[in-house]
């Protein structure tokens, strides 16, 4: 049995004490597999290190009456200068085990072959993970600590790890932490949520997960650093990675995955769409969104999402087959409307996706919601952000939405100062408004400094005259088609 009794862990830092664990108590018996959920930095790994004995608690007691492993798949347990064989020999000596038998097992499980005789520092991360896991399995601990095992390796390796751990060693005690809540659900029989230093125990995954979900929702939006991404190209590049660092995004796409696996297409589509509102330029989940829309029979929507994914950089080869399928189901020959892949260059030249058209629609038509048919029509026809914008300017909805601006501009020119009269009172804006403002600024004025960009975003967030403000700030200046469309609209012989 392992017993934690009011365990407290405090790290001294330059900016004061950081209380990571604040009175954590639980018992863990043989056969119990405890899955720990918690946000990034909640202290899950610290707790595992304390249980392993590598680190000592600031206060409280940890009793172990069974042997406890080191955190599994932890590559740091090796000496990188030594060969794989030497590492096996060292671990065998430390734990008083039969070296020859262990080496045979590691050779068999890790499938590293001759590499075992090379220094570990020459291994790839996948090879390290295989060696680490194999070495972890040679000691028959009573309790295994598993910290993010799913992070490396291919599917077959995962299956073999799961078989070794949960199959052959299913009778042992385990503490498992993972970003993948599904992994925790599938392999644990007790659950816990670590939040603000406190650990709450649950017997039921769904209850634990609901609490986790609520907690993530309650916490304010994490600090996402937009400072380095003031233009659309940069936003696309950073979104792929940043999205996965955001607990809310991860949770939404995970739930989407679960719903997809349960073939609940509508639910899955909703979750993916929600996730993509948070990070509209995250291409791989546009593909997922398209897949579930396709399964659900929304072929136009699926096509729009596939095209968006490609516009944001998803390799065409990976989605072409699916795209061709949904186009044929709409009775359209795939070759009639070729897909345009992502390319760098000035923003107006970049290939538009759904988020761009949505943002422009809100700016130009004051209505960000397009139906699937119209969206896919735009994506098929318009090769660049510039072309989309020109087409949308020619649409009567623009003149309807900006009638007074058009009239004023015909007399005074475009660069009138719309924000001359200060806005009164607080502007009510939610996170979506801010995101929209960012997206629009990243298109209209991509070369601003981070500070200028922020000032502009603040100014047009929730601003009903955002359009006028942007043009006054010389937005969309280098967009030839859009500028031509504007000139045409403003010319005296245009219809009032």
CB of 170 to another protein, least distance (A): 17
Q: Which is nearer to another protein, 140 or 447 (CB)?
A: 140
Is 55 a binder of another protein (CB under 8 A)? yes
Residue 353 DSSP SS3? coil
CB of 457 to another protein, least distance (A): 39
DSSP symbol at 248: H
For residue 465, give every residue at least 6 positions away whose Cβ sits within 8 Å of its Cβ, in sequence order, or none: 405, 418, 419
CA dist., res. 222 & res. 201, Å (int): 26
* Cβ atoms 291, 253 nearer than 8 A: no
For residue 166, give every residue at least 6 positions away whose Cβ sits within 8 Å of its Cβ, in sequence order, or none: 33, 187
* Of the candidates 49, 311, 39, 80, the residue with the CA atom closest to the CA atom of residue 195: 39
* Cβ atoms 310, 299 nearer than 8 A: no
Place of tokens 């981070």: 450
- Rounding to the nearest 10 degrees, give the CA dihedral for residues 450, 453, 459, 465: -170
Whether the CA torsion 11, 12, 13, 15 is positive or negative: it is: positive
Is 90 a binder of another protein (CB under 8 A)? yes
Ordered alpha helix ranges (H), 21-62: 44-52
CB of 103 to another protein, least distance (A): 15
- Applying CB under 8 A, the span of 31-39, 61-69, 122-130, 403-411 interacting with another protein comes to 61-69
Which member of 86, 107, 180, 267 binds another protein (CB under 8 A)? 86
Tokens of 112: 């590293």
Is 411 a binder of another protein (CB under 8 A)? no
CA dist., res. 352 & res. 311, Å (int): 6
Is 141 a binder of another protein (CB under 8 A)? yes
Place of tokens 């939006």: 221
Which member of 66, 211, 414, 490 binds another protein (CB under 8 A)? 66
Which member of 10, 19, 62, 82 binds another protein (CB under 8 A)? 82
Is 44 a binder of another protein (CB under 8 A)? no
CB of 221 to another protein, least distance (A): 30
CA dist., res. 23 & res. 229, Å (int): 41
Tokens of 105: 């097992």
Q: Which is nearer to another protein, 125 or 330 (CB)?
A: 125
Which member of 71, 256, 280, 352 binds another protein (CB under 8 A)? 71
Is 267 a binder of another protein (CB under 8 A)? no
Tokens of 103: 């080496």
- Rounding to the nearest 10 degrees, give the CA dihedral for residues 384, 437, 361, 495: -100
Is 65 a binder of another protein (CB under 8 A)? yes
Tokens of 30: 């043989």
Which member of 31, 95, 151, 217 binds another protein (CB under 8 A)? 95
- Kindly determine how many residues on this chain lie close enough to bind another protein according to the rule CB under 8 A: 34
From residue 376, how far is each of 228, 265, 273, 381, 382 by CA, in Å? 31, 20, 16, 9, 10
Which member of 53, 297, 338, 480 binds another protein (CB under 8 A)? 53
Is 27 a binder of another protein (CB under 8 A)? no
Is 52 a binder of another protein (CB under 8 A)? yes
Q: Which is nearer to another protein, 172 or 294 (CB)?
A: 172
Is 139 a binder of another protein (CB under 8 A)? yes
CB of 129 to another protein, least distance (A): 15
Is 54 a binder of another protein (CB under 8 A)? yes
CA dist., res. 416 & res. 469, Å (int): 9
Q: Which is nearer to another protein, 20 or 360 (CB)?
A: 20
Is 325 a binder of another protein (CB under 8 A)? no
Is 171 a binder of another protein (CB under 8 A)? no
Residue 460 DSSP SS3? helix
Q: Which is nearer to another protein, 79 or 404 (CB)?
A: 79
| Sheet strands (E) in 39-142 | 59-64, 68-72
Q: Which is nearer to another protein, 118 or 465 (CB)?
A: 118
Which member of 64, 213, 270, 329 binds another protein (CB under 8 A)? 64
Is 56 a binder of another protein (CB under 8 A)? yes
Which member of 15, 41, 96, 420 binds another protein (CB under 8 A)? 96
Which residues lie near another protein (CB under 8 A)?
Answer: 11, 49, 52-56, 64-68, 70-71, 74, 76-79, 81-82, 86, 89-91, 93-97, 139-142
């Amino acid at each position: 049995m392992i017993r934690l009794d009011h365990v407290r862990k405090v790290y001294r830092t330059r900016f004061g004490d950081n209380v990571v664990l604040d009175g954590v108590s639980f018992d863990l018996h043989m056969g119990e597999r405890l899955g720990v959920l918690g946000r990034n930095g909640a202290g899950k790994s610290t707790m595992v290190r304390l249980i392993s004995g590598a680190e000592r608690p600031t206060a409280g007691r940890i009793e172990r009456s069974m042997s406890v492993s080191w955190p599994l798949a932890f590559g740091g347990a090796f000496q990188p200068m030594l060969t794989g064989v030497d590492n096996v020999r060292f671990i065998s000596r430390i734990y008083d085990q039969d070296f020859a038998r262990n080496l045979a097992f590691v050779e068999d499980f890790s499938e590293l072959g001759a590499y075992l005789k090379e220094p570990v520092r020459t291994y790839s991360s996948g090879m390290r993970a295989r060696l680490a896991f194999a070495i972890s399995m040679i000691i028959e601990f009573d309790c295994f600590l598993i910290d993010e095992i799913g992070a490396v390796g291919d599917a077959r390796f995962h299956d073999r790890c799961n078989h070794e751990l949960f199959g052959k060693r299913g009778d042992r005690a385990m503490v498992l932490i993972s970003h993948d809540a599904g992994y925790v659900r599938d392999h644990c029989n007790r659950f816990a949520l670590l939040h603000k230093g406190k650990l709450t125990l649950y017997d039921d995954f769904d209850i634990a997960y609901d609490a986790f979900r609520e907690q993530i929702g309650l916490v304010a939006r994490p600090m996402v650093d937009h400072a380095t991404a003031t233009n659309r190209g940069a936003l696309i590049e950073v979104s792929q990675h940043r999205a996965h660092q955001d607990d809310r995004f991860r949770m939404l796409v995970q739930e989407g995955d679960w719903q997809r696996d349960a073939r609940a297409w509508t639910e899955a589509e909703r979750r993916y769409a929600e996730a993509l509102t948070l990070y509209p330029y995250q291409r791989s989940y546009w593909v997922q969104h398209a897949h579930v829309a396709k399964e659900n029979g929304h072929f136009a929507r699926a096509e729009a999402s596939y095209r968006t994914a490609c516009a944001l950089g998803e390799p065409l080869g990976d989605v072409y087959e699916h795209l061709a399928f949904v186009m044929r189901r709409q009775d359209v020959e795939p070759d009639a409307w070729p897909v345009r892949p992502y390319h760098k260059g000035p923003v107006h030249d970049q290939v538009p996706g759904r988020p761009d058209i949505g943002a422009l629609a809100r700016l130009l038509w004051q209505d960000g919601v397009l139906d699937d048919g119209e969206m896919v029509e735009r994506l098929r026809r318009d090769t660049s952000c510039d072309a989309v914008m020109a087409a949308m300017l020619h649409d009567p909805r623009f003149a309807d939405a900006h009638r007074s601006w058009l009239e004023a501009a015909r007399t005074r020119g475009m660069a009138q100062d719309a924000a001359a009269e200060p806005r009164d009172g607080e502007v009510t804006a939610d996170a979506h408004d801010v995101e929209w403002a960012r997206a629009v600024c990243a298109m209209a004025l991509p070369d601003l400094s981070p500070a200028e960009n922020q000032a502009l975003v603040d100014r047009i967030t929730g601003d009903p005259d955002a359009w006028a403000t942007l043009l006054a700030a010389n937005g969309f200046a280098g967009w030839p088609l859009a500028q031509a469309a504007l000139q045409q609209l403003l010319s005296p012989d245009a219809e009032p």
